[in-house]
Amino acid sequence: MKVEQIAIFLENTSGRLSEITTVLADNAINIRSLSLADTADFGILRLIVDKVDEAERVLKKGGFTVGKTHVIAVEVPDKVGGLASVLKVIEEAVLNVEYMYAFVNKSGENAVMIFRFEEVDEALKVLQEKGITTLSSTQICTL
């Protein structure tokens, strides 16, 4: 299953991250997972939230540059070699991972990794064919 993620481009200045999280909090939008990458001048904040369209709307209204992309949330066995086993499937299928980040799962049985693939639909097909569990946005928001 594909998961919709929002990406916010922000200036690398003090307080910008706080502004974003405040806008989301003021609109009762829950952040389920995030990743922040930066350069000297700007950053890209990637979020999985419980109300994607509402988050996009209120952030744009607040003057932020926002985009949406699809990622895949993958359950990874929370044990030594768990991630390596998933990455081996990805390698064998010659899938290009653009980026990835972790999501904390309360159960402790599995970790969840968020993957952005160059070919999202092909990656989803391969992962499902190999029996790797993917999660929907709804499932992520209930963890």
Indicate if 27 and 43 belong to the same structural domain. Answer: yes
Query: What is the predicted pLDDT for the residue at 108?
Result: 65
pLDDT at 21 exceeding the cut of 80: yes
**What is the domain extent for residue 131?**
70-142
Which CATH number is 74's domain given?
3.30.70.260
Question: pTM for the complete prediction?
Answer: 0.89
Query: What is the predicted pLDDT for the residue at 103?
Result: 78
Q: Which residues of 57-91 are buried (b: 16+ CB within 10 A; e: fewer)?
A: ebbeebebebeeeebbbbbbeeeeeebeebbebbe
The string of pLDDT tens digits covering residues 23-73 is 999 999 999 999 998 877 788 999 999 999 999 999 999 999 999 999 999
